[in-house]
Amino acid sequence: MTEPLTIAHMDTFEFLHVRGTGADAALKSAFGSLPKEWFRCKKIDKNGFIARLGSREFYVFSLAGESYKTRITGDNLYLFERSDRVFGLRGNTRVNYLRELCAFDFSTSAGDQIVLASMAGVSCWFKMSSDEDVDILVGCDPTYGDYMAEVLGRSLDEFRMQGDIFGAD
């Protein structure tokens, strides 16, 4: 069954950028194993994830409103709270939709991947999901939030008007 493409604004979340030579050890202590490869994610708790961006740089994200910042402690560690504007994309045509707005070929991404790419002229991060019941998350600097909301809304209307040209993922 085809689920229509929807875009939702996520407004209850915690997003942390963790950096430093002590980041790996601090996150292992707080959450157990970490993704081994760069730009890969690991699910934590019900609605959270850790993404490895490099050897000493990570994103820690929770949609459930659960706070992780008190769990992350250690030396040589820098913890930055981010206030990105975050959108959730759901529906079988979401990958096709993203391919219309971004040069990156999202059909090649894995479900446990973070993609950093430009969409509509704005640097964004994308938390991919191969499970159609889980939103693909898209985040950007909050100063571009209203612009991205408008671009996503207008382009979604255009995308829907084109009907079955794009088909399902």
User: Taking 50 as the threshold, does the pLDDT of residue 147 lie above it?
Assistant: yes
Mean pLDDT of 55-72: 90
Phi/psi for 136 (5° steps) reads: -80, 125
Going from the N-terminus, what domains does the chain have, and what CATH number goes with each? 6-11+84-162 (3.30.1360.120), 14-82 (3.30.70.1400)
Higher pLDDT: 116 or 167? It is: 116
163: pLDDT confidence band, cut at 50, 70 and 90? Answer: low
How far does Cα 135 stand from its chain's mean position?
A: 9
pTM of the predicted structure, to 2 decimals? 0.89
Residue 158 confidence (pLDDT): 83
Residue 41 neighbours by CB distance under 10 Å: 23
Q: DSSP string of 36-90? A: SSTTEEEEETTTEEEEEEETTEEEEEESS----TTT---SS-EEEEE--EEEEEE
Mean pLDDT of 77-106: 91
Mean pLDDT highest for which of 89-93, 114-118, 126-130? 114-118
* Helix (H) or strand (E) segment spanning residue 130: none
